[in-house]
Each structure stands twice: as C-alpha cells, then as structure tokens.
Amino acid sequence: MLMVVPVAAQSQSAWHGVQDGVEARATALTRPAVLAFYQARGFSAQAIAPYADACIFSLELHNTTKKILRLVLADWRAQTTAGTIRFRQPQSWEAGWARQGVAEPARIAFRWAQFQADLEFAPGDWIMGMAALERRPDGPFRLTIPYTTDRRRHEIILDQLACAALD
Amino acid sequence: MKSSSTSSPAPPSTERRRSLARLAGLGCLLAAAPLAAQSGGMTPVAGTPPAPPLSLPDIDGKTVDLAAYRGRLVLVNFWATWCPPCRREFPSLGRVQKLLKPSELAVLAVNVGEEAETIFSFTGASDVTILLDRDSAVMRRWPVKGLPTTFIVDRQGRLALRAVGGREFDDATIVAQLRGLLRL
C-alpha cells in the first residue's frame, strides 16, 4: 500500500510521508542557506556555487518498524512531466572538490553532510543529509523513495515537491 | 585548548561574526523539525566483532587509546558540530556518563574533521572526553554510514550495540541495555 501525502497539508518547503512505520521528510533548501552552510565549513563561494545552484533537499528517513530496511539513493526518482530525474551521487561531487583544491576539513564536512548513497537502517535508526537532483525540474514533481525490508520492495511517495527558489 | 591556525589571533568582533556565520549556516539544516524524538534503544551488532583500533588526540592534545579502556563499557560517538542530531544528542552523553560509575562506562565523543576552537565553541567545558579525528581516517575504519553513529564497545573490546541517528543516551531503554552488558 502506498501513501501519497497531499501537499495542502504541508508547508511550502517541506514534505512528509509515512509508509508502514517508515517516515520520510524532504525539505527544499535555498541557495543562500546552502552557501552559508558550506562557506562556514571552509568552501569558497566559487567552489560551492555549482552545488548551491542545484535543486537541494535536506532528506530524513526514520525507521520505526521492527525490521531492518535498506535503501539506495540511486534508486530514488523525481518524476516530472518531462521525465525522470535522479539524485546526483554524493561521491561524484567529491572528485571535483579535490581537483579544485578544496581543503580537507571542508571536503570531510561535505561528505558527511550528504544523504549517504547506500544505507541500512536498524529499527529505531534515523538519518538526515542533503542531496542534489541531477538537474532542476521545470515544475513540481513526485519523489519516489524505494526501500526494501525482508527483500520486499516498498515505496514512499511525496507529491508536488518543488525546488527552493535560487534567490 | 589549541589556538587558531591563523598567523595572528582574530579580534573578538571577527570571531563573533564567524560564529554567527557558522550558526547561520546551520539554520538550513536545523529549520526542519526532526522526524524522531531521538528516543529508543540501540541495535545489537551481529556477531559482536572486535572494535576497530581507535587512538586519537583529545582536545588538549593527549593521545587516548580505546584499548586502555578494556574492562569497561565504552560509548564511542562519531559526531560534528554542524550535524543537527549530533548537537541535540550531545548533552545526553554527559548525562549517561553520570548514571554509571567511571569504572563501568567511559564516553568518547569522536569529532570528525573540525578544529578544536570550533568544537570548544559548542561544547564548552564538557565532562565528555572529546577526540579529534581531523582527517576522518579513524572513522573510515569503523562501520559508520552517517553522522551521528554511536557504538557501545563491551568490556571485552567488541562492538556490542550500534545506533545510527540521534538518541537520548540516558533514555531508560539504553541505560537498561548498558546495565545488561555489565551483567554479562
């Protein structure tokens, strides 16, 4: 069974869904907020600009079930009228930071501030992190979050998501 | 307390601006209310493997080695000041330490990738032993998939319990788990 969370019940920048004891929240992050966060961690504005210009969400997952659940960020899908967009894998940013000579403390903070690519959640575990879509959708989109428990596939769907405005 | 790595100390006004900038940067993460109330227990680690090595300087530069704590439970918490659930759970590390005797439980809070000055501005004079994993080399040897992650190392030096995401470590469930390990 899938639960589609109506956007009318939520704020304009945060979406929340529950599926059989698994909770998900996506919060759209503004460009100034992302810039401030990473500049405070040691990034130059120029280095972090490509990331801040992307469609960034703070993502949270909480496992309140009695089972271990597994999820892979590469499987998440943003479905728009023009097609499907995936989240860019966290490690793909890191090669760029190394090439640009971003200091190690900043790169460490970036690495661990991201929603991790491959996660296993025990009962009670919850985690949050940022993630960037591969490109900015033209309009609202549906986010499908697949996960597995006992090798059975489930999905949480968050509807009518939107990127934060760039300014 | 180690001084800043800059060649001359920043005047207070500059440091205050930096602190405010750091807090402003955190706002984008803290804006979202947490999904979880950070309560609940920890998960047994399958097979209770030996804890990976952990030898790091504390905030005063003194080297602390996990192996020296054999015979006690050790709570090892991987964290950073920019991580909202890490900040929320941090006070509970000090509280759980006080609930058990020093001969029963030690708490090691392993900060990842930050300067002592940054850490101290958050923790103040904490009773918890804070270790500095500046290049995250130690954390990479532990089965950590995100921050915060916390382990309980049992009295035989094995990984007994794990928690991914924030907890309140003085929660009755976790304290009962710790007392259970002490009875083994």
Complex-level ipTM: 0.86
Query: Is A150 among the domain residues?
Result: yes
Alpha-carbon gap: B69 to the closest alpha carbon of chain A (Å): 27
B112 touches chain A (CB under 8 A): yes
| pLDDT value of position B80 | 96
Question: What burial letters (b/e) apply to A63-100, b meaning 16+ CB within 10 Å?
Answer: bbbeeebebebebbbbbbeeeebebbbbeebeeebeee
Interface of B with A in 81-110 (CB under 8 A): 82-85
In chain A, which residues have pLDDT < 50? 1-11
Question: Which CATH number does the domain housing residue B130 bear?
Answer: 3.40.30.10
Query: Is A167 among the domain residues?
Result: no
Q: How many distinct structural domains can be found in chain A?
A: 1
- DSSP code for A123: T
| pLDDT value of position A4 | 37
Q: pTM surpassing 0.90?
A: no
- Structural domain including B134 reads 36-183
Residue B16 has pLDDT above 50, yes or no: no
Query: Is B4 among the domain residues?
Result: no
Pairing of strands A14-19, A4-5: unpaired
| pLDDT value of position A95 | 86
| pLDDT value of position B38 | 58
Alpha-carbon gap: A33 to the closest alpha carbon of chain B (Å): 5
* DSSP element (H, E) containing A109: helix A104-113
Query: Is B25 among the domain residues?
Result: no
Question: Which CATH number does the domain housing residue A96 bear?
Answer: 2.60.40
The mean pLDDT value of chain B amounts to 84
| pLDDT value of position B145 | 86
Q: Which candidate in B30, B42, B145 is best for mutational testing of the A interface (most A CBs within 10 A)?
A: B145
Query: Is A124 among the domain residues?
Result: yes
| pLDDT value of position A112 | 94
| Mean pLDDT lowest among A41-50, B33-42, B136-145, B152-161 | B33-42
* % pLDDT > 90, chain B: 75
Of A61, A112, A116, Cβ closest to residue B80 = A112
B166 touches chain A (CB under 8 A): yes
Query: Is A166 among the domain residues?
Result: no
Residue B161 has pLDDT above 90, yes or no: yes
Query: Is A63 among the domain residues?
Result: yes
Query: Is A42 among the domain residues?
Result: yes
CB B38 within 8 A of CB B166: yes
Q: How many distinct structural domains can be found in chain B?
A: 1
Query: Is A107 among the domain residues?
Result: yes
Residue B1 has pLDDT above 70, yes or no: no
Residues of A in contact with B24 (CB under 8 A): 36, 40
- Structural domain including A78 reads 4-161
In Å, the largest CA–CA distance within chain A is 48
Query: Is B143 among the domain residues?
Result: yes
Residue B11 has pLDDT above 80, yes or no: no
